[in-house]
Amino acid sequence: MHDFEYRGNELFCEDVPVREIVQQVGSPCYIYSHRTLLRHFLAFEDAFKNIPHLVAFAMKANSNLAVLRVLAREGCGADIVSGGELFRALKAGVPPQKMVFAGVGKSAEEIQFALKSNILMFNVESPGELLHINEVAGSLGMRARVALRINPDIDPQTHPYISTGLKKSKFGIRADRALEEFDIAQQLPHIDVVGVHKHIGSQLTKINPFVDALKKILELIGVLQTKGFNIQYLNIGGGLGITYSDETPPHPKDLAAAISPLLATVNCHLIMEPGRSIVGNAGILVTKVLYNKEAETKRFVIVDAAMNDLLRPSLYDAHHDILPVLKDESAPVNAVDVVGPICESGDFLAKDRKMGQLKQGDLLAVMSAGAYGFTMSSNYNSRPRVPEVLIKGQAIMIIRQRESYEDLIRGESIPEVLA
Ligand SMILES: *Cc1c(COP(=O)(O)O)cnc(C)c1O
């Protein structure tokens, strides 16, 4: 599953002790395993090898250039959601012909940038956006390839914040208006309709929502094809869950087995947009214990990482296992809240977690932090963002330096009048 394992009492990433990595780059830091990344990507490639397909990694999960490069070298594309992600993907060497662009709020500048870069297609999320892309493409004397993102109104049975395919969601075009929108798109002079897209949510741990949503989309594609539309691409989005604690999400093989028979009814190139399932368990956040503190009814372990470094616990009440980098099985176990230095009560990494007694300076590994970890981090409380390190075998590669105080104020200035 991943390559963070104990050898004796000591946690390793691949062949390097985590302690040694921290000696080099300091704490806190993100650490990624090259081997895990690769294995998770190749699991998709292998599962879908009999179907013409493109895996477009959802960059919002982890957009580090080196991480993207590892995947791009194996043939992976990118699912982008902003001009900034397009810029990063190009820098990392992802071929534009393997990029798809989602998101409900694409600006004129972003659309232009994507058209000039000649990306594979836009996943269009509303009638207004469709008209806008047509207009921008026209002004450049170009045509835009698009898929329409359809909201199939399927409950993905996941956290409401990461559920995207219900009627009340801001994403996609309403299923009952889909045909109408395809008709409109077909008639626009600067639009080529090439596909249908859906993405119903993230951290899905059951296969049924995938299948139910796909069936709805296939029905639509069937109708479109009989009406003469040339639907070349079927994009099923991402959303496959990972194990944070005791979830048992489907393997890409299970997904392939469940959906392959259905796909036979349409003759489309399959696109997938996995994010979390590729990088989630390929990364950890390492943090150091600063203080033990006892309130009247609670024990706190105060660590040097905080909600600005890993937002998921605060934002989604998400669970991340927290493991000691050096195990001491004789240590007495207490229930503790693991909290950061930020001045917010919502700043925690774990609550009421049973952990062996810790002391100042001990290192902890916050597991499964490779997806939506660093990418969601911020400078809140003027905390420099932490470094990212890629491990390959025995090699320690710093793929993003720790920010400095100077980095914090880059671009800021004090106007003359305040002199
Ligand atoms: C976030 C997102 C994904 C990736 O979701 P994961 O759960 O990380 O696999 C894929 N497609 C779209 C459109 C997204 O918004």
Task: Give how far the C-alpha of residue 322 lies from the chain's centroid of Cα atoms, to the nearest Å.
Answer: 21
Q: Does the CB atom of residue 125 touch ligand 1 within 6 A?
A: no
- Examine residue 417 and state whether it is found in any structural domain, yes or no: no
Phi, psi for 362 (deg, rounded to 5): -65, 145
- Examine residue 413 and state whether it is found in any structural domain, yes or no: no
In sequence order, what are the beta bridge partners of 58? 79
Q: Which atom of ligand 1 is nearest to the CA of 240?
A: 9
Place of tokens 């691949």: 14
* Residue 196, domain CATH: 3.20.20.10
Residue 60: its pLDDT value, please? 98
Residue 85: give the domain boundaries: 34-278
**Whether residue 88 is found in the same domain as residue 216:** yes
Residue 269: its pLDDT value, please? 97
Helix (H) or strand (E) holding 33: strand 29-33
* Domain's final residue, options 225, 260, 278: 278
Q: CA-CA distance, 419 to 417, in Å (whole number)? A: 5
Residues of the chain with pLDDT under 70: none
Is 250:274 a contact under the CB 8 Å cutoff?
Answer: no
**Whether residue 344 is found in the same domain as residue 321:** yes
Residue 164: its pLDDT value, please? 78
Give the 3-state secondary structure of residue 359. Answer: coil
Residue type, 238: G
Q: Does the CB atom of residue 60 touch ligand 1 within 6 A?
A: yes
Place of tokens 């296969």: 207
**Whether residue 256 is found in the same domain as residue 286:** no
Q: Which atom of ligand 1 is nearest to the CA of 277?
A: 9
**Whether residue 274 is found in the same domain as residue 285:** no
Is 40:281 a contact under the CB 8 Å cutoff?
Answer: yes
- Examine residue 342 and state whether it is found in any structural domain, yes or no: yes
Place of tokens 């071929």: 95
* Domain's final residue, options 278, 300, 323: 278
The DSSP string of 271-328 is EE---HHHHGGGEEEEEEEEEEEE-SS-EEEEES--TTT--HHHHH-----EEESB--
- Examine residue 414 and state whether it is found in any structural domain, yes or no: no
DSSP assigned state of 403: P
* Residue 369, domain CATH: 2.40.37.10
**Whether residue 25 is found in the same domain as residue 169:** no
Number of structural domains, the chain? Answer: 2
- Examine residue 183 and state whether it is found in any structural domain, yes or no: yes
- Examine residue 263 and state whether it is found in any structural domain, yes or no: yes
Q: Does the CB atom of residue 82 touch ligand 1 within 6 A?
A: no
**Whether residue 195 is found in the same domain as residue 73:** yes
Q: Is 29 a catalytic residue?
A: no
Residue 163: its pLDDT value, please? 75
- pTM of the complete model: 0.96
Q: Does the CB atom of residue 199 touch ligand 1 within 6 A?
A: yes
Q: Does the CB atom of residue 202 touch ligand 1 within 6 A?
A: yes
**Whether residue 327 is found in the same domain as residue 379:** yes
Give the Å distance between the CA of 205 and the centre of ligand 1: 14
CA atoms within 13 A on the CB side of 198: 27
- Examine residue 158 and state whether it is found in any structural domain, yes or no: yes
Give the Å distance between the CA of 238 and the centre of ligand 1: 5
Is 278:60 a contact under the CB 8 Å cutoff?
Answer: no
Q: Which atom of ligand 1 is nearest to the CA of 371?
A: 8
**Whether residue 338 is found in the same domain as residue 263:** no
**Whether residue 205 is found in the same domain as residue 297:** no
Is 253:6 a contact under the CB 8 Å cutoff?
Answer: no
**Whether residue 19 is found in the same domain as residue 134:** no
**Whether residue 272 is found in the same domain as residue 309:** no
For residue 252, is the peptide bond before it cis, meaning its omega torsion is within 30 degrees of 0? no
Phi, psi for 247 (deg, rounded to 5): -65, 150
Phi, psi for 315 (deg, rounded to 5): -80, -45
**Whether residue 131 is found in the same domain as residue 248:** yes
Phi, psi for 141 (deg, rounded to 5): 65, 35
* Domain's final residue, options 262, 278, 294: 278
Terminal CA-CA length for the chain: 57
Mutation to probe ligand 1, out of 62, 76, 79 (largest number of atoms < 8 A from CB):
79
- Examine residue 49 and state whether it is found in any structural domain, yes or no: yes
